[in-house]
Amino acid sequence: MYKVTVLEGDGIGPEITREAVRVLKAAAEKYNFNIDFDYALLGGAAIDAVGTPLPEDTVKRCKASDAVLLGAVGGPKWDNLSGDMRPEAGLLGIRKALGLYANLRPSKVFKPLKNASPLKLGDTACFDVMIVRELTGGIYFGKRGRFERDGVACAFDTEEYSQPEIERIAEIAFELAMSRNGRLCSVDKANVLESSRFWRETVLRVSEKYPEVELSHLYVDNCAMQLVKAPWQFDVIVTSNLFGDILSDEAAMISGSIGMLPSASLSSGSFGLYEPVHGSAPDIAGTGKANPLATILSAAMLLKISLKQEAAAAAVEGAVDAVLSQMRTPDIYEDGLRKAGTCEMTDAVISLI
């Protein structure tokens, strides 16, 4: 019996996690294993219920599980709160509390969606990249503050990385490259930032243990341009928290829709938190229009990485690929196909598992 803690969150979070849980139950029944689902609060929902974006009870429940499935957090309802009380603080806090230092964001163009990419990749170019983002260090967790200098208001945020933090994320990226096409691109801003020069030096040292992997380096601005110019040149990209946040969203749009992209946030071992790349989309919450596929694909990653149910994961991924030729939610709709809502899309996926 596996235990999965579900953090529904805000906006469309409860809707998309509900559909992903349905898919997980179907996959478990098909492949003869059991999952016990536990539910806990995070983000705006937690603020409304208990006055904090990350209750201690939520951390305890997550730590007692094999994996965590998250919907999304945030919304305009809580925009006026201070930074440490906003829903997003709960997301940063749960990552830190669970030691989730490696964020895996696969981005690919599904063949049925090749025309949805803004780059119009067509049939000749394949885009399938894994972005490995360091998740618990860097500028998001560095010292910050506001001060006054010569009567002028100022603010600062600090980028800081230790050698072990860089080494462990680099090792995950090298291992992933070895399991894929053997190419790793490390992205930094080493021409300007001391933290990036240290990042590059450390990645180079780690590379000595992986002679089979072809390692390259790009400055982040060049990488952003290359993702648009020739996205098929990339296999695995490893980078810092801030750069990874930005580049993974760019890669998501190249795929055709951010509503299609899953992610996994991992700690040591097989434990992980799985969530769609997209946000809480409060403007469509409750309308039945939300695309559940990113969350369903996140559930497939959960099956594969944390539960080691690779056959079940492959079945879910295959079902998603197949259903795209039949129907689409509004964000990826194409003339000639059936327009589907959140539940109908999930029903179709389940029928194909």
User: Which one from 140, 161, 210, 274 is the annotated catalytic residue?
Assistant: 140
User: Which one from 10, 245, 274, 289 is the annotated catalytic residue?
Assistant: 245
- Catalytic residue status for 249: yes
Cβ neighbourhood burial of 324 (10 Å; 0-12, 13-18, 19+) = buried
Strands 272-276 and 262-266: antiparallel
- Catalytic residue status for 140: yes
Whether the CB-CB separation of 16 and 279 falls below 8 Å is answered with no
Q: What angle do CA 297, 302, 303 make, to 5 degrees?
A: 95
Residue 266: which of 105, 141, 128, 89 has the closest Cα? 105
- Catalytic residue status for 120: no
Q: What angle do CA 43, 45, 46 make, to 5 degrees?
A: 70
| Continuous segment of H or E residues that includes residue 304 | helix 293-305
Q: Which residue type, as a one-letter code, is found at position 103?
A: N
Burial 302-317 (b: 16+ CB within 10 A, else e): bbbbbbebeebbebbb
- Catalytic residue status for 10: no
Neighbours of 29 (CB within 10 A): 14
User: Which one from 2, 66, 188, 189 is the annotated catalytic residue?
Assistant: 189
User: Which one from 38, 249, 321, 347 is the annotated catalytic residue?
Assistant: 249
Residue with tokens 């952003």: 224
User: Which one from 57, 84, 157, 221 is the annotated catalytic residue?
Assistant: 221
- Catalytic residue status for 335: no
Q: Catalogue the active-site residues.
A: 140, 189, 221, 245, 249
